[in-house]
Amino acid sequence: MQRGPPRIVSSWGNVARGEHRVYGFSSRFEDFPDISGGCTVLPFGNGRSYGDSCLNVGGALLETRTLDRFIRFDADQGTLSCEAGVQLADILSVVVPAGWFPCVLPGTQYVTVGGAIANDVHGKNHHRAGTFGCHVTRFELLRPDGERMSCSAEETPDWFAATIGGLGLTGVVTWAQMRLRRVAGPWLDVESIRCADLDELLELSIESAKDFEYTVAWVDCLARGRRLGRGILQRANHADGAASAPRPAGGTGFAVPFAPPVSLVNSATLRLFNAAHYHRRRLRTRTVQHFQRFFFPLDGIRHWNRLYGPRGFHQYQCVIPGSGAGEAARSLLGAVAAAGEGSFLAILKCFGDRASPGLLSFPQSGITLALDFPNRGAPLAALFGRLDAIVAQSGGRLYPAKDARMPGDLFRAGYPRHGEFLRFTNPRCSSSFWRRVMADA
């Protein structure tokens, strides 16, 4: 059914926006809605993608938020099936008390299962668990022509691989089934270790991968010279049943009520924050943390994206494969530090070599770097151009879920299977992202 007159929809970064006709479902048994006017359509989860990969400006969006029912939770086997609009937050509230946990969690719990599949999302345990799609066993794909396909790796390997990481372009996933993993409780044993430079950080990341299920590093990207790449490595394992710590009060209750006229994130506030954050920690700390705090530190403040003001912000996330990854990371951080375009959130993680199931999945073995920047227009675009050149030269790629600006040739070089993928895209599905990166193909 159509939901109201056309309206402006924007994504998490507030840099991409535009008018859409919006459609929805009232149940998963319903047919694919009739999209009037013959325009293209794109499934829309919870809009937690940063750029334009969840938008279809001038066309239609098909909201999945009302497909939010659980279908079956088998607490003996640790399998869960649910509709595609169920958010990971809801899954956590149901499975954790029963001693189970999702195999992969991204940095926010407010993403839908459909969105997690379509971007084949990754988490802090990529070096062990691979991507979200590695743990999806089956899903239903509903295509705009009305066909319903039950997809699994065994029965429909091609459609399975095209739809996982498929950016919503193969049709809409109505429900999915996934495997869970056992946990003793909601607690994690977390160690934070300060590293004085990039070498130390990378060395410790690689070493920690052996004994720790979760590893991630925050980088102070204003630090230059000898201190380039200094940061704090966090590594963690699920704690045993006896562990406990104060339970966080379900978010801080803080919300950013509206976007301030200018970004509150700028080089002055950043310099203060980064120095304080780096020095606040002792060289090494060990704590027990609730999973909410460890996995979703930003979810405590609702609408934190508004802090970046009305012009919004970009996230630049790349992955660099192979042995040159460390050097490329150094060049990338060097370019950022030299530009003085500090990034508040600069995250570095070593991906493992578990193969991603999707034709267009982003993760591959190597180093991934994710950087947030307030949208400052031309100077930022120039910096992105320099970063793109380093990524292209080292055979890396950018993450569509975070992107609103990558050049088409960088996308196509980074995702060599895009030609194969084209065979599975539905002619009636499209996105602003897809038109942009395929325009000059």
Ligand X SMILES: Cc1cc2nc3c(=O)[nH]c(=O)nc-3n(C[C@H](O)[C@H](O)[C@H](O)COP(=O)(O)OP(=O)(O)OC[C@H]3O[C@@H](n4cnc5c(N)ncnc54)[C@H](O)[C@@H]3O)c2cc1C
- Per-residue x/- mask for ligand X, residues 64 to 103, rule CB under 6 A? x-------------------x-------------------
2 sits near another protein (criterion: CB under 8 A): yes
| Residue 24 interacting with another protein (CB under 8 A) | yes
Q: State how far the Cα of 121 lies from the Cα of 139, in Å rounded to an integer.
A: 16
Which among 134, 142, 130 has a CA at the least distance from the CA of 175? 142
Q: How far apart are CA 96 and CA 94, in angstroms?
A: 6
309 binds ligand X (CB under 6 A): no
Toward another protein, which CB reaches closer, 86 or 387?
86
Handedness of CA 393, 399, 402, 408 (dihedral sign): positive
Q: Based on the shown chain and the rule CB under 8 A, indicate whether residue 258 belongs to the binding site for another protein.
A: no
The answer to whether 122 contacts ligand X (rule: CB under 6 A) is yes
Q: Is 135 in the site for another protein (CB under 8 A)?
A: no
Instruction: Note whether 89 binds another protein by CB under 8 A.
Output: no
Q: Does 15 engage in binding with ligand X (CB under 6 A)?
A: no
Q: Which residues contact 394 (CB under 8 A, 6 or more apart)?
A: 320, 321, 322, 324, 325, 327, 328
Give the separation between CA 396 and CA 411, rounded to whole angstroms. Answer: 10
| Assigned token pair, 154 | 């065994």
SS3 61: strand
- Helices and strands, number each (H, E), in the chain: 12, 20
Q: Which does 410 bind (CB under 5 to 8 A by kind): another protein, ligand X, none?
A: none
Nearer to another protein, 10 or 66 (CB): 66
Q: What angle do the packed helices 325-339 and 378-393 form, to 10 degrees?
A: 170
Among 198, 221, 232, 401, binds ligand X (CB under 6 A): 401
Size of the site for another protein (CB under 8 A): 19
**Min separation Cβ 28 and another protein, Å:** 7
- Indicate which of ligand X, another protein, none lies near residue 214 (CB less than 5 to 8 Å, by partner kind): none
**Closest CB to ligand X among 25 and 384?**
25
Q: What residue type is 335 in one-letter code?
A: A
CA distance 281 to 275: 11
Structure tokens at 365: 């073995």
What's the order of all strands across the beta sheet hosting 397-398?
A: 284-290, 187-195, 231-238, 214-219, 346-351, 366-374, 313-321, 397-398
Distance in Å, CB of 378 to ligand X, minimum = 25
Q: Which of 36, 69, 155, 157 binds another protein (CB under 8 A)?
A: 69
Q: Residues 203 to 232: which contact ligand X by CB under 6 A? A: none
**Does residue 253 belong to the site contacting another protein (CB under 8 A)?**
no
Which of ligand X, another protein, none does 2 bind, CB closer than 5 to 8 A by kind?
Answer: another protein
Give contact residues for another protein (rule: CB under 8 A): 1-5, 7, 24, 26-29, 66, 69-73, 82, 94
